[in-house]
Structure 1
Amino acid sequence: MLNPGATGHLAEWEGETPSSIIFRSANGAIAEDIHGKTYLDMTSCSGASPLGSNNPVFTTRLAKAMEQETDVLPSPVSEQRQLLAGKMSVMFPDTPRVFFLRTGSCATEAAVRIARYRTGRPVILTAGFHGWHDIFQQPPWSDNPPAKDQHIQDYQYDLGILEQQLARNQGTVAGIFFTPEPSVFPPELLQEISSVARLHGVLLIVDEVLCGLRYAKGGYCRKHGVKPDIITLAKGVAQGVGLSAVAGTADAMAGADRAYLGNTYLRENRAFVAGNLTQEIFEEAKIVERLAERGSALKRQFQTSLERSGIPARVLGSDTMFDILLPSQKHGRAFAHRCLQHGIYTGYPGTYMSNASMNAAFFRALQAALELALADYRKDEDMTAQVTDASMVDYCAEAFHATEKACLSNRHHWA
C-alpha cells in the first residue's frame, strides 16, 4: 500500500526543491497525484507521450489489436517488428537499416558498440546527454565516476576541443556523437561537425532520442540536410511503451552484424504492435504538424505571460521543444518551484514539449495557474536582475555541459 507521506522527486530536476509528487493517473496533458492535485504536464511525459496520456484512439486501437496479437513470442524476430522496421526505414531514408531496443539509453550505448565494431576503433567523441549508462556518465556529466572510461571524451559542443581530440586520438576515433539542442545550437553546428567527421574518416552518430519524432517529419538531420551514419530514436516510437531504435546506413550497421546486441524483452510483441499503431496515428492525424501547432500556442502563452508580468526571461527554441531562460540558476529554480506549487509540471533547466492532446481547456487552466505562479515568483525574486549572455552561458553549462565558447559562438542563434 502506498504511504501518502512518502517523498519522491525527480533526481534530474528537483534536487534543490524536492517535492512529494506521486502520480496516480493522467489524461492528455493533465496528471493527478495521490492527493487529488492536478498538474499540467510541460514535459509530454519526458517526450514519451506525443499523443498525450491515455489517448483514447491509441488505447482503443491497441486493445482491439491485442485481441488478435500475441503478447510475447519465442523470438524477437516477428511480423510486427518487421512491419515497424519498414515504416522507420521510410521515415528515415538516409539511415534505412533499423535495430530495435527498449530505451533511449539502450539505443545510444548500442550505437557506440556498433560504431566500434564497424571501425575497429575504441574512441567516441561526444557532446550532449545520451542517457544513464556508465559510458555516458563520464566527466563533465559525472564529477567523479567510479568507472572512468578514457575512450569516451566530451567535446562539450566546442569545435576547438573537438579538433584537439581528433588530433590527439588520431587513428583511434570510431565516431563523433552529437545531441541536437535546438534552443541553443543552430543546425549549422551539426552541419560543420558532419563535415569534420567526413574529413577525418569517422562515423557521425546523432542522438535523436528526444527530437527525432517531434522536431520535424523525418527528424532533425533530414530537416537540415545532414546525412549521419547512425541515429538513435526512442521518445514517441511507441507512445510511452518502452521501445527504441538505432537506425543507420547499410555500411555503418555492418557493425551490428558483429556486435552482440541481444535483448530478452524484444520478444514483447505488444511493444511492436504499439509502435506500428503510433506511427499509423502519426500519419493519419498529422501529429508532427499538431505538435508544432500546440507547441506554438504553448510557447506564445509563456512568452506573453512573462512579458505581461514584467518578468525578465527568454523563451528559446522550436515550437515543439523549447527552453525558458531566467537570469540565474537561483531564479530558474524559484520559477520551477512556483510552477510546481501551482500545478505546472516543469523543471529548471528543462525542455518544454507539446503533445497533441493540448486543447482550449488545457490552455485556460494553464493561464490561470501561470498567473498565480508568476505573481508569487514576482513577490519573492529580484526583478531587477536581467537575462544576459552570462545567464545563457550558465544555463548551457548546467543543462548541456557546453563550454562558454561553444555557447557564445552560437549567440547569433539564441540572442
Structure 2
Amino acid sequence: MSTATPTATAAATDAHRSALRRALRVTASEKWDLNRRFPVVMARASGAHAWDINGRQYVDLTSCSGAAPLGAGYEPVVAHAAAEMRRTGGILPGPLSVHRVELAERLAEIFPVAERSIFFRTGSCATTAAVRLARAFTGLNHVLTSGFHGWHDWQLQDRPEMGLPDRDRDSVEFRYNLDLLDELASVQRVAAVIITPEVNFFPPEYHQELQRLVHRHGALLILDEVMTGFRYGIGGYHMAVGLTPDLITLSKGLANGMALSAVAGRADVLAAAEKTYMGNTYQREVTPFAAALSTLHALRDGTLLARMREVGEQLIKGLNEVFARQQVAAWAFAWPTMFDVVFANAELGHAFFQEMWARGFLMQYGGRFMPSAAVSDADVQAAVEAAGEALPAAQSRMEGTGGDPDPVAAAVRFARDHFVATPGAVRRWFTGPVCG
C-alpha cells in the first residue's frame, strides 16, 4: 500500500488542533466523536481509503461503521443516485414515489418475512418504530429488549453512564438471558421482544430457542438486523439460521452510506401503522431510495459479500498470528464480515487500536470490524504488518499487560461491557473464539 500513514505526532499539527477546537466549539462531542472514535477531522473517502484535512491517508476497516459495505463512493450507486436526483428534483411533494414502492418490493424478494415495509432515516428510528408498531398491534405496552438499538432514551436506559433522568418502565432489558426472559414474560404479558443478534457470541441455537420462547408467550419477535441485514448474507441473519421474526429492522448497508432505514415484516403488524403515526418528511426524498435500489442490485449475486468475507478471513488469520507470535491474550474471531477482537486486558486493547490509528488504520476497541468489499489484499497485508508494530508499542505504554488468558472469561467481560449481556448467558452459549 502506498499510503503515507500518519503518526501520533503528525496528526496533532497546529492546523489539525485548530480544526478540532473549532469542531468542539460548535458541534463535536469530545466523548463520542473524539475519545471513542478517531481524533481527526475527515475530508473525503473513496473505497476503503479516507483522507483527513491534512491530506493524510487511512485505511477504513469499519466501512464507515458498517454503513458502506461496497466502499465509500461506489461508482454505480453514486451515478444512479445522482442521475435520479437530477431527473426527479431529489424530493417530491408527496410521500409516495415509484422508488419507495420498488424498494419495498425488492425487500420482499430478498426477505420473505418482509410482506410490507416502512422507511425512516436511521436505525434508531427504525427500532423505535418497530416497538411502536408492536404496541399498536397487540394493545400491550410491555417490551423486553437486549442489545444495542440506537440512541433513543428507551434504548439506553440500562446504561447508567448515559445519565438519563427517567426510564420507560414498560421497556425491560433481559440481557440476553433466556431464563430471565421466560421469567419476565411469565409475570406480565409482553407486546414484543426486540433483540440484536450478537452472532459472534450467541449461536443459531440460542436465537432459535429465543424465538420459541417469545412465540410461546404470545409476543412478537422483532429482530434488529440493522447490523446483520446486509452483511451476514443475502437475506440477513434470520434467513441463514431459519428464524421467522414478525418484524425486522434494516439500515446499515441498505443504501451504501446514504441515510435510510426500514421496518419490514408481517403485513398485519405493519398495518398497525393505521392506528398510530408513522409519517416522516423525508420519505419524500428520492435519492436514498435510488441509492438503495442500486446497492441491492450490486449485492444481489453475492460476489461482493464473498469478497467481504474473504477480506475478513484474511484479517482474522493475520491478527491471530500476530497475537500468537507476540504471546498476547487476544483473539479475532467469528463471522468474517463483522468480526470482533477481544483482549484479555481491555486497556491494552484500547492502546492497540490507538496505535493502529496512528499507523493509518481506522478501527476501535468494542467496535466491530466490518471491512468493505473495497479493501484490497495489499490493505490487509499492510494492516497485519502494522498490527505487528502496534502491539509492542501498545504494550510499552502499559504498566502491565496481564489479564485472564481464558478466552471465555475475556468474552464474558467484553459482552457485559459492550452489550450488557449477563455473564451466565455468555458462559452458557459462547463456545470460544472460533471463526464462523
- Determine the C-alpha separation between the residues in 1 that align with 2:158 and 2:107: 33
Structure 2 letter corresponding to 1:163: D
Q: For residue 335 of structure 1, what is the aligned residue in structure 2?
A: 352
Q: Which moved more, 1:184-193 or 1:50-59?
A: 50-59
**Matched residue SS, 1:275:** helix
TM-score (norm 1): 0.93
**Equivalent in the alignment of 1:349:** 366
What corresponds to 2:87 in structure 1? 68
Aligned twin of 1:147: 166
TM-score normalised by the chain length of structure 2? 0.89
1:198-256: CA deviations, max 9, x gaps? Answer: 11111000000011111011000010001000000000111111000000112322322
**Maintained 8 Å contact 2:224/2:250:** yes
Partners of 2:254 and 2:74 lie apart in 1 by: 15
Partner SS, residue 332 of structure 1: helix
Most deviating of 137-146 and 152-161: 137-146
The alignment yields a C-alpha RMSD, in angstroms, of 2.2
Q: CA deviation at 1:413?
A: 5.3
Match of 2:405 among 349, 373, 387: 387
Give the drift of 1:57: 3.0
Cα distance in 2 for partners of 1:164, 1:343 equals: 48
2:315 is aligned to 298
Distance 1:387 1:26, change over 3 A: farther
In the alignment, is residue 112 of structure 1 matched against residue 120 of structure 2? Answer: no
> Counterparts of 1:413 and 1:196 in 2: how far apart (Å)?
25
For residues 357 and 374 of structure 2, what CA distance do their matches in structure 1 show?
Answer: 21
CA contact (8 A) 2:47 2:74 kept: yes
Pick from 202, 205, 215: which aligns with 2:222?
A: 205
The 5-angstrom pairing of residues 191-202 of structure 1 reads: 191-202=208-219
Partner of 1:278: 295
Tell me which residue corresponds to 2:5: none
Q: Is the 8 A contact 2:223 2:247 kept in 1?
A: yes
Structure 2: gaps spanning 5 or more residues = 1-14
Identify which range, 158-167 or 148-157, moves more after superposition.
158-167
Amino acid at match of 1:295: G
Counterpart pick for 1:374 among 388, 391, 400: 391
Residue 233 of structure 1 is matched in structure 2 by 250
d(CA) in 2 for partners of 1:236 and 1:207? 14
Aligned counterparts of 2:160 and 2:429: Cα–Cα separation in 1 = 22
Q: CA separation in 2, counterparts of 1:54 and 1:269?
A: 18
Deviations 1:286-320 (A, max 9, x none): 32222212222222222222223332211122011
Mapped contact 2:108–2:116 kept (Cα < 8 A): yes
Segments of structure 1 that go 5 or more residues without pairing to the other structure are: none
Report the AA paired with residue 323 of structure 2: L
Change (3 A) 1:275 1:204: same
Residue 326, structure 1, aligned to residue 367, structure 2? no
CA distance in 1, matches of 2:161, 2:276: 27
In structure 1, how many angstroms separate the alpha carbons of the residues matched to 2:149 and 2:37? 24
Are 1:83 and 2:102 an aligned pair? yes
Q: Which residue of the other structure, out of 140, 143, 155, is the alignment partner of 1:121?
A: 140
Opposite residue 244 of structure 2, the aligned amino acid is K
> How far did 1:56 drift?
2.5
Identity %: 35
Q: Which SS does the other structure have where 2:234 is aligned?
A: coil
Structure 2 residue aligned with 1:136: 155
Deviates more, 1:272-281 or 1:56-65: 56-65
Which deviations, in whole Å up to 9, do the C-alpha atoms of 1:146-194 show, x marking residues without a partner? 131101100000112112211221x3x1001110111111111111110
CA offset digits 1:247-272 (Å, max 9, x no partner): 01123223222220110011111111
C-alpha displacement at 1:412, in angstroms? 2.2
Query: How many angstroms apart in 2 are the aligned matches of 1:10 and 1:44?
Result: 22
Which of residues 64, 67, 70 in structure 2 aligns to 1:48?
67
Note if contact 1:186-1:413 (Cα within 8 Å) is conserved in structure 2.
no
Tell me what 1:4 maps to. 19
Q: 2:291 is paired with a residue of what secondary structure?
A: helix
For residues 114-161 of structure 1, the C-alpha deviation after alignment (integer angstroms, 9 at most, x for no partner) is 000000000110000000011212114656521311011000001121
Moved more, 284-293 or 256-265: 284-293
Q: Which amino acid aligns with 2:105?
A: G
Separation in structure 2 between the aligned mates of residue 69 and residue 326 of structure 1, nearest angstrom = 50
Which amino acid is 1:357 matched to? A
Contact kept in structure 1, 2:200 and 2:340, CA below 8 Å: yes
Amino acid at match of 2:356: C
* Aligned position for 1:267: 284
What does the per-residue CA deviation read over 1:26-67, in whole Å, with 9 as the maximum and x for residues that have no partner?
111111112222222121101100011122332233333434
Match of 1:20 among 31, 35, 39: 39
Residue 365 of structure 1 and its aligned partner are, at CA, apart by: 2.9
CA distance in 2, matches of 1:373, 1:63: 41
Give the secondary-structure state (helix, strand or coil) at the position aligned to 1:252: helix
1:36 aligns with 2:55: yes
Give how far 1:366 is off.
1.8
Q: 2:221·2:245 contact (CA, 8 Å) conserved in 1?
A: yes
2:245 and 2:37 map into 1 onto residues whose CA distance is 40
Q: How many residues align?
A: 412
1:10–1:94 CA distance, 2 compared to 1 (3 A)? farther
Question: Structure 1 pair 210/395, CA: closer, same or farther in 2 (3 Å)?
Answer: same
Describe the shift of the 1:254–1:306 C-alpha distance in structure 2 as closer, same or farther (beyond 3 A): same
Which residue identity is paired with 1:37? R
The yes-or-no answer on 1:243 pairing with 2:267 is: no
Q: Partner amino acid for 1:344? A: F
* Structure 1 residues 364 and 316: CA distance shift in structure 2, 3 A: closer
Residue 14 of structure 1 deviates from its aligned partner by 5.7
